[in-house]
Amino acid sequence: MSTSMRRVRDSLLLALVLAAGSTQAATIVSTFDTDDEGWRGTGDVTSTVPAYLSSGGNPGGTIEIDDQTAGGTWYYSAPAKFLGDRSLAYGQPLSFDLYQRGSGQQFAASDVALIGAGLILTIDAGGNPLPLETWVHYEVALSEAAGWVRTNNPLSLTGVAATQSDLVAVLGALDGLRIRGEFIGGTDFGRLDNVHMEAVPAPAAFPLLGSALLGLARLGMRRRRAVG
């Protein structure tokens, strides 16, 4: 094999590897089919480790957290697989299902908080009031157009409107993702299911792949002409 052919072959192999990596499934999911998947509770909880239920979800398994009723608001805290560099999730939906049971007056607070890059971004996902004893599906876009707020408190909805650079920065170095579980001032418990963080892969290897294939085709034509 000639040096030119080997170079094109190597470029083609590299492009195929990069293309495969860039187009793999990028959705991060927690459906709680077998365990709690590393989710935890934070804030006013009786235990930071949620109870895992193999049934009672939407459908199938779910996690459940009880309110300690000591003041404050509790949240579900996402595990490591949702964190880190999640910049590809910018502009894409974050969705989840919530269930609650309890008594007392419901109150407003941030429904989702993104923490990272020295920033705290929060949003009202429409969880107030959250209907009792039924599963409710929520979906928020990870973009400034959805109404994210830059604030100093993960519970707060008061601050300044988040910008595109805010979202890109926090998603690029995501240290915390919190989903509100407490909506009632009295005793309550909540359940979480079907958390999906979508991401669109950037097919940066496609131009390289096309160039390699074109180069390989041209070399093949030259060889045929030389033989002919």
Render pLDDT for 57-104 as a digit per residue (tens, 0 to 9).
999 999 999 988 777 899 999 999 999 999 999 999 999 999 999 888
**pLDDT of amino acid 72:** 82
Helix (H, G, I), strand (E, B) or coil at 72: coil
Q: List b or e across 19-29, with b for residues whose CB sees 16 or more CB atoms inside 10 angstroms.
A: beeeeeebebb
| Listed residue (207, 168, 203, 179) closest to 26, CA to CA | 203
What are the pLDDT digits (tens) for 192-227?
999 999 987 644 444 544 554 555 555 554 555 555
Instruction: Name 79's Cβ contacts closer than 8 Å, sequence gap at least 6.
Output: 30, 37, 38, 39, 40
**What is the assigned CATH class of domain 24-202?**
mainly beta
Q: What is the mean pLDDT of the chain?
A: 84
DSSP one-letter code for 188: E
**pLDDT of amino acid 209:** 46
Instruction: Give domain limits for the chain.
Output: 1-15+203-228, 24-202
